[in-house]
Structure 1
Amino acid sequence: MSNPFYRRWMVPALFFFSPMTLAQTPAAPVVVAAAQQAEVVQVVQLTGTVTAQRDARLSVAVAGLVESLAVDAGDHVETGEAILQLDAELAEQQYRAAEAAHARARHAMEDAQRRLAEARRLAPQQSIAETAVRDLESEVAEDEAELSRLRAELAYRKGVLDRHTVRAPFSGVIGARSVELGEWVAPGAAVMSLVSTEDLRLDFQVPEDYLGRVAKGNKVQFNLGADKENAYPGTVIAAVPVTDPTARTFLVRVVPTGEISGLLPGMSANVTLRLGDGQKGTAVPRDAILRYPDGRVIVWEAVSENGALVARERLVQPGFDFDGLIEIRSGLDENARVVVEGNETLRNGQALDARASGAR
């Protein structure tokens, strides 16, 4: 204690931390805001993808040689529009042969029906044997059966001929084309992909921790791609309660509320999901929270002591972060006033020159 160096520095140090010094320190200019009771909402940020309600890989129904291609990737097509034609020469010949056979059978049946009608007129006059009438009836029945068979054959050949033309099953955009002129294609092999640009929705995977809290009808906000400025509203239309065992997530599907120009399948989307059960809690503005590397989380409360407004450090347990507020689960009274500006260098018991948040 007799060390001169120690005596030189001890007194100023004691003087610096003394209450008298704090009292003499000028009041710190700060902005304060009142803690408030708010409905606590958990905000979950997720990344999803814009998907089409209809996304098909088109294939041919019959084998054949590609004769013509009417579209390419990026082309828009309408429902029923021809997009690919196979060489149908042999199918056309088979159809014509079936058509001729059907016509011949129809004429044979009509002739048999005419002869049967004449025989029935003569039968009462005993001008024709009853056996001949029955033979004609049998012939008509056979001709009718043959005509029915050939009618089905004709319809089959017409169907095969029609299937040499691939038509768009719905309107949309050709996503990719995987064949060229002259290629031989077989049933089941994809020749094109067709994606609908109508009735688009957003699909995103939600951690299984939220299973049961996301339900049909929940409202969301989402941004498209790198556009962080424009937020669009949407509604949950499906929450599939089956989790992916590898990712521990489940599918949630959202539809935009209203029309959005430029919305295309495959675009990325950043979705903000708000989950709440209607319960209220104490919340303070986000700027009131100070976090330290050692894990402490504090707020500075402005309290009246001996007629003066001073700062008091409060160790708090924060909860959910939402709408510019942070839920305070413990450590702060619900009627407290907290410092939201000028709180970085405050000391316990320091006088405050406070201005209410929003005041000028």
Structure 2
Amino acid sequence: MQQLKWLSKIPPKKLYCGLATAIIGLGIIGGVILKDHNKPVAAAEEIAIVRTAVIGTTKNTQEYTYSGEVRGRYESQLAFQVNGRITNRNVQLGSHVSAGDALMQIDAKDVVQTVNSNSAQVYSAESQLQLAESNLNRYRELLEGGAISQSQYDQYANTYNVAVAGVRQASAQYEQGTNQLDYTLLKANKSGIVSSISAEIGQVVSAGQIVATVIQDGDREVEISVPENRIEELRQAKDIKVTFWALANKMIAGKIREIAPMADPATRTFKVRISLLNPPPEMKLGMTASVTVVSSNVPQTITIPLTAIYQTGDTPTVWVVTDDILTLRSIKVGKFINETLIEVLEGLQQGDCIVTKGVHKLKAGQKVQAGGESL
């Protein structure tokens, strides 16, 4: 009430002027505040986080892996030495045989008849020899008594020599026949395991036709096929490791024993035999093996992921991070190393930091935060 009384003492004209001045001042202050409030705030600079990799020194070695098979060092492919029909088969696949064991037999009736004929010829030749020898002795006595001439005696001496030669010829033919009879049995020349059989009972085979294979007891090897462009690298290999699909955690050292002088006409690859230094006792013939060959004297190269390449036009480029700023750099690429890596011939060097993923979402001069791995 006292305040109202105080206001009532102020002349109305002054009161209205004071209120108007106060209202105008509040309006000016409010406008300034509103203007400052509506003023746009500078946007914060966006920093992208990218996955990067640092180019490092590549190793001067390279690994190649080949699939192979466990084989015997010596494999005998056996065949009959005479023609005939197989009548007996005494072994199965996987049978272990000793030297001299009969594996198969062919019908020997014709050979037996030939032997019998040769035997009769031997008896006949021996009889002719006995007769010629008796005549020679008789006519020698007549020659000494002067009853016959020297020319007559020489005739009987020549007949005797012919009979001796006839016996030798008949004996040789008989021996040949007995050999043919022995050839009707196919025998193992060494102890080993029968790995293949390609003829059955009742089949007619010819001389020299392979009917069975015996892997000799002893060393076991791994056979691989190598393309011609890697033969020289294989010759210079400094380390060879052999693993087996069926034997987990088994890694055996190996060495090259033999490289075929000519490529296989069908596959155009070279057969290579790898000797095993300490083969495990669990290893079996025919097992699948993987042979890893570490080649030395390989030129140093730089490889990058395919996802790091930013293709603009005909020239491949990569994003290089320098002081957290992106720059685009042209490179020259070489051959594909595998499905994810490619060789770089020019444009990069050791220590360069490149972006490996999301390269199509970046721009030159952009500030980024790097993080990744080393190549």
TM-score category, normalised to shorter length: 0.5 to 0.7
Query: SS of 1:195's equivalent?
Result: strand
Is 1:331 matched up with 2:349?
A: yes
Is 1:222 matched up with 2:242?
A: yes
* 2:62–2:298 Cα contact (<8 Å) kept: no
Deviation at 1:76, TM superposition (A): 1.1
Query: Which digits, 9 at most, give the CA deviation of each residue in 1:289-309, with x for residues without a partner?
Result: 99572349x9xxxxxx9xxxx
Alpha-carbon distance in 1 for matches of 2:131, 2:213: 52
* 1:201–1:253 Cα contact (<8 Å) kept: yes
Q: Which runs of 5+ in 2 are unaligned?
A: 1-34, 49-55, 311-317, 338-342, 353-366
Q: Which of 162, 165, 171 is residue 185 of structure 2 equivalent to?
A: 165
Is 1:85 matched up with 2:105?
A: yes
Which residue of the partner structure matches residue 187 of structure 1? Answer: 206
Q: Kindly report which structure 2 residues correspond to 1:155-304, keeping only aligned pairs within 5 A, or say none.
A: 155-181=175-201, 183-188=202-207, 190-215=210-235, 219-240=239-260, 242-243=262-263, 249-277=269-297, 291=305, 293-295=307-309
* 1:42–1:320 Cα contact (<8 Å) kept: no
| TM-score (norm. length: structure 1) | 0.64
Change (3 A) 1:7 1:88: farther
Q: Percent identity between the aligned chains? A: 20
Alpha-carbon distance in 2 for matches of 1:278, 1:202: 25
Higher Rg of the two aligned structures = 2
Matched letter for residue 185 of structure 1: V
Alpha-carbon distance in 2 for matches of 1:246, 1:180: 28
Q: Which is richer in helix?
A: 2
Q: Kindly report which structure 2 residues correspond to 1:2-151, keeping only aligned pairs within 5 A, or say none.
A: 11=43, 13-14=44-45, 17=47, 40-117=60-137, 119-120=139-140, 122-151=142-171
Change (3 A) 1:6 1:262: farther
Q: Over aligned residues, Cα RMSD in angstroms?
A: 4.9
Which residue of the partner structure matches residue 301 of structure 1? Answer: none
Alpha-carbon distance in 2 for matches of 1:295, 1:127: 120
Matched letter for residue 331 of structure 1: Q
Query: Which digits, 9 at most, give the CA deviation of each residue in 1:171-201, with x for residues without a partner?
Result: 32223445554x1523155543433354433
Matched letter for residue 225 of structure 2: Q
**Number of matched residues?**
304
* 1:237–1:253 Cα contact (<8 Å) kept: yes
Q: Which runs of 5+ in 1 are unaligned?
A: 19-34, 284-288, 299-304, 322-326, 337-346, 352-360
Query: Which digits, 9 at most, give the CA deviation of each residue in 1:285-333, with x for residues without a partner?
Result: xxxx99572349x9xxxxxx9xxxx9xxxx9999999xxxxx9996336
Alpha-carbon distance in 1 for matches of 2:229, 2:200: 49
Change (3 A) 1:108 1:60: same
